[in-house]
Amino acid sequence: KPVFHICNSCGREIMEEDHVQAVDVFWHTDCFRCVMCKQALSTWYYERDRRLFCRQDYIRKFAQGCHGCAYLITGPVMVAGDHKFHPDCFICVKCRCYIGDGESYALVERSKLY
């Protein structure tokens, strides 16, 4: 007897050969959708806590603005106090030098890096 998988979305058995496997689980092709807007996903998707998102909903829900440039942060992040920065925006306000991971810095007035 062939081995069948259970769809992570609807919980029904996957009988057809056309299915999607991602994040170590299986979906019917029709069930492979963003958990927020229900838009069908292609091979490009974002995952958080084993839930799948389209790009727009993932950014809307999880991305934060950089304190340095105000653009959304979707990748690596540097943190100083309550503020988050792109690594390229983590710079000294006086000399404009990049402050690297593990280098000493001071956060003055809760927002200025030195």
Burial bucket for residue 11 (CB in 10 Å: 0-12, 13-18, 19+): exposed
Question: Which CATH number among 2.10.110.10, 1.10.3720.10, 3.40.50.2300, 2.30.30.760 corresponds to the domain 64-113?
Answer: 2.10.110.10
Which segments of the chain belong to CATH 2.10.110.10?
5-62, 64-113
- Rg for the chain (alpha carbons), in Å? 21
Q: 3-state class of 18 per DSSP?
A: coil
Mean pLDDT of the chain: 88
CATH of 5-62, one of 3.30.450.20, 2.115.10.20, 2.10.110.10, 2.60.120.10: 2.10.110.10
pLDDT in tens, the chain (114 residues): 566 789 999 999 998 778 889 888 899 999 999 999 999 998 788 888 888 999 889 888 887 888 888 888 878 899 998 899 999 999 999 999 999 988 999 999 888 899
